[in-house]
Every structure is written in C-alpha cells, then in structure tokens.
Structure 1
Amino acid sequence: MDNKALKKLEADLWESADLLRAGSKLTSNQYCMPVLGLLFLRYAYSRFKLVKKEILKDRPMRRGVVLPVEASDFKEKSAIFLPKEAQYEYLVNLPTNVADANLIGANGQPLNSLGEVVNNAMELVEAQSEQLVGVLPKDYTMFSDELLGELLRIFNNNALDEVGGDIMGRIYEYFLNKFAKNIASDDGVFFTPKPLVKMIVNVLEPTSGVLLDCACGSGGMFVQTGDFVNATGMAANNTMTFYGQEKVEYNAQLCLMNMAVHGLTGVIKSGDEANTFYHDAHNLDGSCDYIMANPPFNVDKVKSESAQAAGRLPFGLPAVNKNKEIGNANYLWISYFYSYLNEHGRAGFVMASSATDSQGRDKDIRQSLVETGHVDVMVSVGNNFFYTKSLPCSLWFFDKGKRSEIQDKILFIDARNYYTVVDRTLNEWTEWQLKNLNAIVWLYRGEVDKYFALLDEYHEVLGSDKPFSEQVHELNERMKALRAEAKKAVEAADKRDKKKVQADYDEKIAELAEILTVAKEANWLYEKFGKGEYTDVLGLCKVADRAEVAEKIFSLTPGAYVGVAPIEDDGVDFEERMAEIHRELLSLQAESNNLMDTISRNMKEMGL
C-alpha cells in the first residue's frame, strides 16, 4: 500500500468513526478508548491470521490430521492467540439480536447484548497477555447494539488485512492524533506530536539498553524507538528494555495498547506509585541508557519534603516557598532526567522554553548541569507544534558519553523559523526537515559519513546528480509551465469536463510540488554545510564552549547564541503576486454579486 492509499484509508476510517460519534451524543473523551480498543482488536485479528498461516505451513500431522494450533505457538512468535469468541470475524458476523443467540461469557454469564460480547472478547484477549491485563476497555455496553455493530463493520475493512504491523500502528497513531486534537479538556497531554518524538529519538540514536520515559503518556517515545531500532535490522524487543511511569491510568492504558499494536513489550506503572515527583517506581536511578520524556510543564505545589525524600536530585531542590512547596517543577524533571542516566547514558526531553534561562535556584542548577560537560544539544521549537496549545518549547539533550573533542561544547539550534505549516493552528517538521536538523547534529559530532549518506538519499529521490540549486530552478520553471498549461486546459474544456480536468492537473501539480519541496530541503542543507564540514550559521546554529555559556550567565536559550539571520529573498515577484491577489479579489467579488442577485430573485419569488 503506497503512502497516498494509506492516507486515504486513515482519513476514510476516521471520517466514518467520527461520524458515528457525532450521532451518538458521546464526547470524544468517552469515545476515544473504546474506538482505539476496537482498532487494537482488529490489528490483533489480522496478526493472528497471519501467524496462524505461518504456523500451519510446517505443522506436523498425527494420524493424517494436522495438529491444531495452540496459544504457546503464538507466544513463540510474539503474537496473541485469539479464542474464537475474541476473533473479529466472529464479532462482525453475530446475529442482529444477540440475546437470541444464547451466548455464554468466559465467566459463565449470559451475554445479552453486543456490548457484553465485545467486553467478553476483551477479557479473553487479556487472558492471553500479561502486559494487557486490566488494560483493554470493557465499557462497550454504553453503545447501542446498532452503533457498536456499525463501528465493528467500519474496522472490518479488508485493506487492514493487507497492511503490516507498522502500518496498523500508524493508523492507531493517526487516531490518537485526531483524538488528541478533539479532547481539549485533557490538553492533549497523552500525545506528544510525532515530529518532536522523532527528533528526540533521531538525536539519541537508541540501539540497545534500558529506556525510561517517566511521563510516558500514550507511549510515543517507545513506539518511535522501536521503529528506529527495527530500521537498523535489529529487533527492538530483543535489544531494548522499556520502562514507563504515567500517573494517569487512562493514559497508561493507551500506552500499553499502543505498544502492543506495534509489537513491543514493556513495564508500565501507573497511578499514585507512578507519580515521578515522589517515586522512582522502577528503581532505575543511575541505571538508564536512555531517557526520553515530554513531562507536564510548570507544575506547582509539589511537596518539597516528599520530593527530597524520593531522591534523584544531584543538584539539590529548586526554590521552595513558605508552604514547603516547589512552585515550578521544571527543574525537578530536568534533575531526574540527568540522575537516571548511567555513566554513558543519553537523555532527550521536551521542556517549557522559559526553563532555558529562568533565574534563582533554577539558574544555579542549570550552571551545575553545564559544568558537568554533559549538556549536548539545545533546540528551540516554534509555536503551534502541539495540538491544543500554541506556546513554543525547547528540546534538551544530555550525553554522559560525549566524545572528548566536544566535551566542553554545546550545540545550539534555533529552529523556531524552520517548519512546515499544516494548518492555521498547527506546524510540524516534515521527514526531510527532521533529517536536515539531524544532519547538523551529525556534523557537530563529526559523523560526516551520515551527512554524505543523506546527500546521496536526496540525489536518489530526486533522480538527478545535478547541483541542488540547479534542480530547484528547473523544477520551479516546470511548475510555472504546468500551472499555465492547467489554466489553458481548464479554460478550453467543456463546462461538464472542467472539474475533472482541474482535478487531474491538481494531482500533477501536487506531485511536482512534493518533488520541488524535497529539492528545496536538499538545497537548504547543502548551501549551509556544503561538503560536510560543520560551521556556525547565523540565525540557525552555533557551537559554544562552556566559557561562552558562563559569559551569558549560563543561559541555554539558543537564540542568545545563534544571532538573527538576514532576511532572505523568498523568490516571489511582488508585482506579479499583487496582480494575482487583485485578480482573485475581483473573482470573489463577482461570485459575491452573483450570489446576492440569486438570493434577491429567490426572495422576490417568495413574495418577501
């Protein structure tokens, strides 16, 4: 399944499911977990069928009969065995009136509604997986049989049998993303935007060892790490050990389901014992190879005595008020992330922008951090990267195993002006922009071979070895010609064919625009770093030593070091663009006048 088909499948599934939500009078918060549970069950069934087919290939026979598959066969292949009553096909094909089917649940109870049958299926799945016990949703009786049956049919799409676990995981993440936008009351805390997660994972480059996320939400750090490790040819479950803490049990359930959909196993603790301010739930202080997290920002009223008793504060407590409370817990989190690392560990986390130069005790702790030599990379992120809040943030990276050549240095990247606009309220880094930012880190670390591999990848995707600037120019010219051709073709087409002709050209223009974007990103990178030597770029990046940081009173704000970039010519002809805007305005005015004339005639006909 290509990317275009997958995007359509994601959108179609979401549109169908959300349409039912709108008609059910349920809130997104109520609807989220049950829908994700059904999506999980659908994934488990696809995986079950695939693994069963593999098992039966070499299945021994006894007295001419193939031995039946058993739960242990599936465990050997890291898959969940599904009893018949938990298989998706069974649920979809139940009779309309479930009560008349005389069904009996796993505990011997009669099942009189479809909701009860699906709850029973979830219990049967949990019985097959220790990691999922008490995790899957079992509140399907809040749906009418009609609504639940329709939901089951939506996810019975045959296309879901044709995609692998990675794709199914992407669809699950797509739904998580959509719910995060809708559940504004939760402030989207269970879902860290994927570009930020990928940036953290790409910089840390996890391969093996212990990974802790002590504010794990829905588990995006684990999932992306799994993808990163698997892409290297290793199996994440064999090389990585995942630990998570998540105070909100609802979010921890999402995390465990998310990990299961991606074929990952881990130990996730939730509830009061997982309140990181007061508990090291896994006893991992000083033992982690990797720390990744997006903790809640600016938390107040943390009990200082309890926090101090829980330890993991190598630089002491942040400021304490007269009520013996910590008024801002940002530096508690920062201290924890450093303390959890072993002697060669790396940490990457999201933090409020204000923490890079906050004063008082925060500044003292920050100074102590800088003086360890383990602060590695600091990245400023612009507005609108989160789904429900527009504030900027920063990414912090520690590395206790830094090469001696950069032991005294910190790489600052100001990426506030480097992003792609998704819509009015959301920005992101594309895959190519993530690679470019990562390339700056490679060059800072002296990993020049990775930079050259990326240049080769650009040339391969673009299908040309010409200089990137030349390719951008040629593609721009092709785009101008294609737009002119499209305009003429639409104008010349019969009235009934205009929409189809326009749609065909829109598709061609979109495909060319995608290639042009890749060329522009390649040129952006090559213009700055050419043949693979790191250099400070005004307004973008700078490597500063500890003496420079001390001069700036230990601020870790990238903008304080990189300076301001000169204003670049965006290549737009001002007069030509103003003429286009004028023509668009005249066209809109004409449409408005026609619409007003139509309304006036209709009102006269109605005698108004």
Structure 2
Amino acid sequence: MTNSEEQQFLNDLEKKLWNAADKLRSTLDAAQYKHTVLGLIFLKYVSDAFDIRRDELRQQLTDADHDYFLDPEDFGGADSEDYAAEIDIELEVRDYYLETNTFWVPQQARWQFLQDNNKAVIGGAELSFQDERGEDKTLKISSVGHLIDNALEAIEADNPKLKGVLNKRYTQLQIDQSKLGELIDLIATVPFNHASLNSKDILGHVYEYMLGQFALAEGKKGGQFYTPKSIVSLIVQMLEPFRGRVYDPAMGSGGFFVQSEHFITEHRGKIGEVSIYGQEYNHTTWQLAAMNMAIRGIDFNFGKEPANTYINDQHPDLRADFVMANPPFNMKEWDTGVADDDKRWQYGRPPSGNANFAWLQHMLYHLAPNGSMGLLLANGSMSSNTNNEGEIRKRLIEADLVECMVALPGQLFTNTQIPACIWFLSKNKGARTSVAGRKLRDRQGEVLFIDARNLGYMKDRVLRDFTQEDLNQVTETYHNWQTGENYEDVPGFVKAAKLEELQKHDFVLTPGRYVGAAAEEDDGEPFAEKMARLTGQLKTQFAESDRLEAEIKKNLAGLGFDV
C-alpha cells in the first residue's frame, strides 16, 4: 500500500494526465484519444527510463572505482573536448542499456527531441540528429503527427518484441497540429521518477487509471477491454498464480497479468517464474496489452497476431496451470466457422446464441491436469436450462470440475448492468500441495458457495467497488475451506455443499440457493407484540401524514393556489 505522500503524488499525476486527455476531447472521439494519449505516455516513459540509465552511466564512466571508468588523462584531461566527446560516444553504446533491461531509445524517439522540434515541424521541416554510431542524419518531417509516428517506428525497429504493437497513426489524426504539440509539452511535465515509487509502478498506475477513465468515457464499448481492478485482484488472490503458465483467452488490455505481477511481487515471488500467454481479437486492444507488458518488462506470448479465440486459437497446444478471463457476457453468433464436433466441447456443444459455456470449455481444454481457473460470467450461466446449457452445467458438476461459485454485487462494471458471478474450476480437487505452498485437503464431491452480493461500497452514484477487506474476507474463506483450517459455514454468506445437494437443486449453481438467509439477532421481543407495536406506529405516521397534507393545502389556498 502507498503512504499518503505517495498517494498525493499519484493523485496529482492523474489530474495532469486527464487534463492532457481533455485537450483532445473536443476534436477526437474517446477511442482515438485513448490511443493518442497512451501512446505518448509510453514514449515519455521509455525516454525517461533511458535518461535515468544514461545519468547512471555518466556517473559510472567518471567514477574511478567503477569498471566503466574512462580515465580523463587518456583524453587530455577532464575539461578537454576529446574527453567530453568520448563520454558522449560511450553513452550511446546500446549494450549498457540492454544489460539493465532498459529500452534502447534512438535519438529521434527521445522525448527531448520531440519537445524541441514539435513547433518547428508544423508545416514541414528537415531535422538533424545522430545515430548510435555518431553519424549525422536528417529527417524530412511533415507534421507533429509524423514526428511522433517516426519516433514509434524507430523504437519498434530497435525493439523487435514491439513489432506491430505500437499504434503509429498520429499522422492520420484529423486534429490541429498545434494541439498535438501542446499535448507533448503537457506530458513533458509528467514525472516518472519519485523518491520512493518505482518508475514502472508509476507508469503502471497511470496506465490502469487511464484505462479505467477511458472505459467510463466510452461507455459499453470501452468496458470491453477493462475489468475492474478489484475483481481481477479477487480472482488472482484466490488462485495464487505464483509459478507456471498463466493464460487469458480474452485478455483485453492484460489486467489479469498486471495484477498477477503485483500479487507475486507483494508476496516476494519472482515474476520470471511465470509464463504469460494471451489472446485478443481487437487489434488496438491487443496493442494496448502488449504495451502494458512491455512497460513492465514482463515477457509475454500473445500469439502471432490479434485473432478470434474460437476459429484461430493462437496457443493450440498450451496446457496452462492457471487460466483467468473476463470474456464478453452472453456473446451471440460466436460460432461462425466453428465445427459442431470441435474437440473443446467435451461436455456438450454450446448454443449459438450464447458463448458462456464456449468460453468455459475453451478454458478447460487449455487447463493442465493440476490446473485451476477463474472465469467471470453472467449470472444466467448458473441456472439457465435453455439450448443445452443446463445439460452442459450438469456434466461439469458430475465430472467434479466445479470448485467454488461466487455471486457478485451489481453495479461493478462500467459497461454493463448484467449481474455477474465467478466460476472457479479445478481439474484436481484431491489432496495435494498448491503452487503457493498450501496443503490442500481432498475436496472431491464438494462445491463451495460464496454469496458476496452484500459486500462492497458505492464509490460514486453509479459504480460499486470492493474494499481490500472485502477481497480478503472472500479469499480467506476460500483458502480456509481448501485447507480445512478455520472454516465453517456462515448462513447468508458461505456454504460447502455436497454434490448430492446440487443434484436436489437440479444442478443450479446460484449461491443464494445454498447459503440461505443470514441469521437475525433475537431482540427478545415476541413476534406478536412486535407486530402490534409496529402496526400502531404505522397508523400514527399515516395520521400525521394526513394532517400535514391538509395543512399544506390550507396554506396553498391562502396564497391563491387552486388545490
């Protein structure tokens, strides 16, 4: 958790960045300015990180105790032009940056270059710079958008992992070039360095904040790539993906991977022990996800290209240890080009009118023998019997794959009011040691039901959110049940049910059917007496209401109103 000074720093940063977005709001729609602002923030960050490393190198090159020390006496003294020139040459050696996992940023992509030239190129200009070998080069730049696109192309050329990832469309923006120049100057004031906050953490915070704000601005469309942070955190906390292969077949902007990184770091694990796999259909969202990983230095495999998960599976042979996803709810017409006998439909062919059980079975297919998965779905998935859905759910339960069901409160999502739940499935509910080191008991033949609909708070007039205490309550309940330590059923909140009980409920998985009602405190007043007392109070209140209504009518009549 951040302290108050750090939080204030981040809050000020958020305001500055949203002001940056506002500069474009009148001329670009939300989807366009999202990519415009995030692309520039990415450029600013990699340039800042490069400058920080450059300053470190300058100190090392002039420090007699360091291996990289350049003795000024070999170049005519510390004040000589030759010595200064040699330092500048060394500062452009790419290997010095790569050894600390710092992006190599060519001179024409550095923020100072953009800031120094964004006014000059309006209307066209020829710019001079030096390449990494110190050779003079010139660029013909036609606009501010062209200046930015050229910077992004240079970064892609020098960082193959980003090939095809960066959104190089600034030249095509229908926008006043001076506005774009103003945006560069404003983002130049955004600091990615802080005394106690890591620069990657700052950028990560910025990225998550901007994605959330853009999701709100774009409404339903924007929410397609953004899952509320607290929901992602809940799934990650419950699954504990410390090591192994982590897969999201509907990854959006990569939120599950980011929270996995946070979780692993907080628990002193190593993100390098996790392999990241994802897939995304929307090209620009696929780009956002790749940028999201790149800025954090997380290695990833998002397939060769953006693609439809059902007809162009980018990871056909993957068997993941953890699968986490928030796919589009109740997606229709998903199965064009998908065979009825596809090998993924082991528990029944999903209906064409709803992809919920297609997502679920796709994830199960890619799950390793000891793997676990968490999947956000619409509430209808827990009880629907239309078009084979009830039969698929029954087969999943009878195969003992369902481990835990969590009912969520409403109003958690920016893009939909559809009530949602989380399915947790496991391919092995037998006794074993989890990746996180927990001694799991034998849970075969059991399903845990958690009703979390009463948790959370209203963060504003329309959106609900969870506190960390809420997340911990659900997570600890789940883990205690898994281990058999400190667990007990709590009426109205949690119940461990046997498969026989699920059969009696026709294989419906709605937690409310199992947890029952919360126990009410006995105030000692007999029911008949309480009912008589409350009825009397109600009659008195009705009489007072009638009296006040008559008084108001009398006063209005005195003022000349016809009542």
TM-score (norm 1): 0.73
Q: Distance in 2 between matches of 1:73 and 1:427?
A: 47
Which structure 2 residues correspond to residues 385-400 of structure 1 after superposition, within 5 A?
385-400=412-427
Q: Name the residue aligned to 1:83.
A: 106
The structural deviation recorded for 1:432 is 2.1
Q: Which residue of 2 aligns with 1:414?
A: 451
Kept in 1: contact 2:331–2:355 (CA 8 A): yes
Question: Which whole-Å CA distance do the structure 1 matches of 2:285 and 2:238 have between them?
Answer: 26
Q: Does the Cα contact within 8 Å between 1:409 and 1:544 map onto a contact in 2? A: yes
Name the SS of the counterpart of 1:406 in structure 2: coil
* 8 Å contact kept, 1:104–1:111: no
**Aligned: 1:337 with 2:363:** yes
Tell me whether 1:278 sits opposite 2:311 in the alignment.
Answer: yes
Please report the TM-score for the alignment, with normalisation by the length of structure 2: 0.79
Kindly indicate whether residue 120 of structure 2 is the aligned counterpart of residue 102 of structure 1.
no
Q: Where do residues 9-408 of structure 1 align in structure 2 (5 Å cutoff)?
A: 9-22=12-25, 24-56=26-58, 57=60, 58=66, 60-61=68-69, 63=74, 65-66=86-87, 67-94=90-117, 96-98=119-121, 102-103=126-127, 110-141=140-171, 142=173, 143-157=175-189, 159-162=191-194, 163-164=197-198, 165-184=200-219, 186-236=221-271, 238-269=272-303, 274-285=307-318, 287-303=319-335, 306-308=338-340, 310-319=342-351, 326-360=352-386, 361-404=388-431, 405-408=442-445
Asked whether the 8 Å contact 1:384–1:426 carries over to 2, the reply is yes
Q: Contact 2:10–2:202 at 8 Å: present in 1 too? A: no
Separation (CA, whole Å) in 2 of partners of 1:421 and 1:535: 29
Structure 2 CA distance for aligned equivalents of residues 178 and 328 of structure 1: 29
In 1, Cα distance between the equivalents of 2:250 and 2:406? 20
1:103-153 Cα distance to aligned partner (Å, 9 max, x none): 169997511322211111111111222221122122223233321122122
Q: Hey, what's the Cα distance between the residues in 1 that align with 2:160 and 2:493?
A: 48
**Which of the residues 457, 480, 488 maps onto 1:535?**
488
Tell whether the 8 Å contact from 1:366 to 1:554 is kept in structure 2 after alignment. Answer: yes
Q: CA deviation at 1:411?
A: 1.1
- CA displacement at 1:3 relative to structure 2: 4.3
What secondary structure sits across from 2:223 in the alignment? coil
Q: Measured at CA, do residues 305 and 111 of structure 1 come closer, stay the same or move farther in structure 2, by a change above 3 Å?
A: closer
Structure 1 alignment gaps of length 5 or more: 320-325, 449-532, 570-574, 576-608
Deviation at 1:97, TM superposition (A): 2.5
The answer to whether the 8 A contact 2:323-2:372 is kept is yes
CA distance in 1, matches of 2:373, 2:226: 19
Q: Deviations over 1:240-272 (max 9, x none)?
A: 11111111111101111111222212111376x
Contact 1:245 1:270 in 2 (8 A): no
Q: What CA distance in whole angstroms lies between the structure 2 residues aligned with 1:305 and 1:100?
A: 48
Specify the code of the residue in structure 2 equivalent to 1:377: C
Q: Is the 8 A contact 1:300 1:328 kept in 2?
A: yes
Q: Cα distance, 1:87 vs. partner?
A: 1.2
One-letter amino acid of the counterpart of residue 274, structure 1: A
1:192: Cα distance to partner?
0.8
Cα distance in 1 between the residues matched to 2:304 and 2:513: 39
**2:343 and 2:429 mapped to 1: Cα distance?**
25
Question: Could you say if the C-alpha distance between residues 119 and 400 of structure 1 is closer, same or farther in structure 2, counting changes exceeding 3 Å?
Answer: same
Contact 1:95-1:101 within 8 A present in 2 as well: no
Q: Deviations over 1:20-71 (max 9, x none)?
A: 123x421111111010011111221222223334455345246455533433
2-side partners of 1:6 and 1:388: how far apart? 29
**Which digits, 9 at most, give the CA deviation of each residue in 1:507-540, with x for residues without a partner?**
xxxxxxxxxxxxxxxxxxxxxxxxxx21111111
**What do the CA deviations read for 1:531-552 (whole angstroms, capped 9, x no partner)?**
xx21111111111111111111
**Secondary structure at the counterpart of residue 79 of structure 1:** coil
Q: Would you say the 8 A contact 1:248–1:270 is kept in 2?
A: no
Say which SS state the counterpart of residue 14 (structure 1) adopts: helix
On the 8 A contact 1:104/1:110 being kept in 2, the answer is: no
Structure 1 equivalent of residue 465 of structure 2: 428
State the one-letter code of the partner of 2:270: A
CA contact (8 A) 1:32 1:179 kept: yes
1:86·1:122 contact (CA, 8 Å) conserved in 2?
yes
* Cα distance change on mapping 1:85 and 1:310 into 2, 3 Å: farther
Aligned equivalents of 2:276 and 2:128: distance in 1? 38
**Contact 2:126-2:139 within 8 A present in 1 as well:** no
| 8 A contact 1:115–1:148 mirrored in 2 | yes
> How far did 1:292 drift?
0.8
Structure 1 distance, partners of 2:6, 2:379, is 35
Task: Indicate how the Cα distance of structure 1 residues 91 and 538 shifts in structure 2: closer, same or farther if over 3 A, else same.
Answer: same
Q: Could you tell me the percent identity over the aligned residues?
A: 32
- Residue 555 (1) aligns with residue 523 (2): no
Counterpart contact for 2:412–2:464, Cα < 8 Å: yes
For 1:43 and 1:206, locate their aligned partners in 2 and report how far apart those are by CA, in whole Å. 28
Alpha carbons of 1:153 and 1:430: their partners in 2 closer, same or farther (altered >3 Å)? farther
Decide which structure has greater helix share: 1
Q: Number of residues paired by the alignment?
A: 476
Counterpart amino acid of 1:282?
H
SS at match of 2:324: strand
SS in 1 for 2:34: helix
CA–CA distance in structure 1, aligned partners of residues 55 and 346 of structure 2 = 54
